Amino acid sequence: MSTTDLAAPSGNGFEEAWHRLRRFDIGDSVAHGVTLLAGAGIFLLVGVLLVELWLNSRLARHEFGWKFLVNSIWDPIAQHFGALPFLYGTVVTSLLALIIAIPLGLGTAIFLVELVPAWLSDWLAFIIDLLAAVPSVVYGLLGIFILVPVIRSTVEPFLHSTLGFLPLFQGPAYGFGFLAAGMILGIMVVPFIVSVSREVLLAVPQEQREAALSLGATQWEAASQVVVPYARSGIFGSIFLALARALGETMAVTMVIGNDPTIHKSLFASGYSIAAVIANEFAEATSTLYVHVLIELGLILFGLTFVLNALARLLILATVRRGTVRP
């Protein structure tokens, strides 16, 4: 008797809870849990990625320390490794890429936003976006067989005869080298500059343009002195994004940079980049130290692109939030 008395209330409570769970909470919590798991999985993935890179480069860090970054000798047979030639190559090719891509991309974006009707602008932007979809290895293919011969026969002799007094443009014209890598990278990152710059330029309020034009500014003056400055942090964001792409780009660079781990002043000379040396030598690395050195180079690359991407995202976010016109 007393047992049923005791059991009844708890049974009711349990049943009630069970009903509530069946009607709502279980399904919802399971769905919440499963999707949360996927989200947490992404955090975990990035975390494990960092840990793996860190652990698997420990030998290189213990052996060379910070000197690794400034040492310019790369001799795998003598187990002597310095990262400077690769840092140099990566920086030089990326800067070259930006020198080409910034005017080209920004000019295109201004044209698309300020001068053409919206439907044409959308179509042209779509075609330019397709440039970003072309695989890197195909850019490399075009680089080897189309761009390099042109550089060897036309671009380098021309630069040599006009700007040959600068050490940058001296030496024999091989075709393969910093110049080829920089040019192909420049073409590859243009779509990023165009699409993001176009986005932030579109977000500039129409009143800004109208105000400038009504004060008597020409269309170019309105664009260059009012619209572009208004969107400048977003444009910087697009440039950082492009730079991050250029730094990490592997295949196209590997195929045209010439793969020579020495530092040359001339842009005509062959060089090497961080991504290219990993791509070329990782599968053939013979000692554990060698592998760890290459993974440390990967870690450096990761760090660089991490910082640049973070900066780019913040800048773009800040600009797009401020403007309100065409979402």
Partner 1 sequence: MTRRSVTNVLMLTFTGACALLTVSIMFYILGYLAWHGASALSWNFFTKLPAPVNVPGGGMANAIVGSAKLLLLACCFGVPVGILAGIYLSEFAGHTIASVLRFTVDLLNGVPSIVIGIFAYTLIVLPMHTFSTLAGGFALGIMMIPISVRSTEEYLRAVPSSLREASLALGAARWTTITRVVVPAAFRGILTGVMLALARVAGETAPLIFTAFGNNSWSQGWSQPTASLPFMIYTYAVSPYDDWHRQAWAAGLVLVTLVLFVNIVTRLALARKMPLSR
Interactions with partner 1, residue window 143-182 (CB under 8 A)? 144-146
Interface with partner 1 (CB under 8 A), residue from 7, 48, 163, 211:
48
The only residue of 153, 219, 286, 287 in contact with partner 1, by rule CB under 8 A: 219
Q: Compare residues 235 and 247 and give the one whose CB is closer to partner 1.
A: 247
Distance CA(180)–CA(175), nearest Å, equals: 7
Q: What's the rounded Cα separation, in Å, for the pair 192 and 108?
A: 12
Report which of 72, 80, 116, 266 is spatially closest to residue 180, judged by C-alpha positions.
266
250, 266, 270, 319: which one contacts partner 1 (CB under 8 A)?
250
Compute the least distance from the CB of residue 301 to partner 1, in Å: 6
Q: Is 117 in the site for partner 1 (CB under 8 A)?
A: no
The CA dihedral of 260, 265, 267, 270, to the nearest 10 degrees, is -10
- Separation between Cα atoms, residue 327 and residue 320, nearest integer Å: 9
- Our finding on whether 311 is near partner 1 (CB under 8 A) is no
**CA–CA dist 259, 278 (Å, integer):** 11
Q: Which stretch in 4-12, 66-74, 140-148, 207-215 sits in contact with partner 1 by CB under 8 A?
A: 140-148
What CA–CA distance (Å, rounded) separates 189 from 184? 9
CB 313 within 8 Å of CB 68: no
Question: Which residue's structure tokens are 């409570």?
Answer: 13
Cβ-based nearer residue to partner 1, 83 or 247? 247
Q: How far is the CB of 272 from partner 1 (least distance, A)?
A: 14
Q: How many whole angstroms separate alpha carbon 234 and alpha carbon 232?
A: 5
Q: How far is the CB of 70 from partner 1 (least distance, A)?
A: 22
Which residue in 82, 140, 175, 271 binds partner 1 (CB under 8 A)?
A: 140
Q: Report the candidate in 301, 250, 291, 305 with the shortest Cα–Cα distance to residue 81.
A: 291
Restricted to residues 50-109, the positions that interact with partner 1 (CB under 8 A) are 52-53, 56, 103-108
Stretch that binds partner 1, among 79-87, 159-167, 192-200, 205-213 (CB under 8 A): 192-200
Q: Which of 177, 234, 248, 271 binds partner 1 (CB under 8 A)?
A: 248
Q: Are 231 and 203 in contact (CB under 8 A)?
A: yes
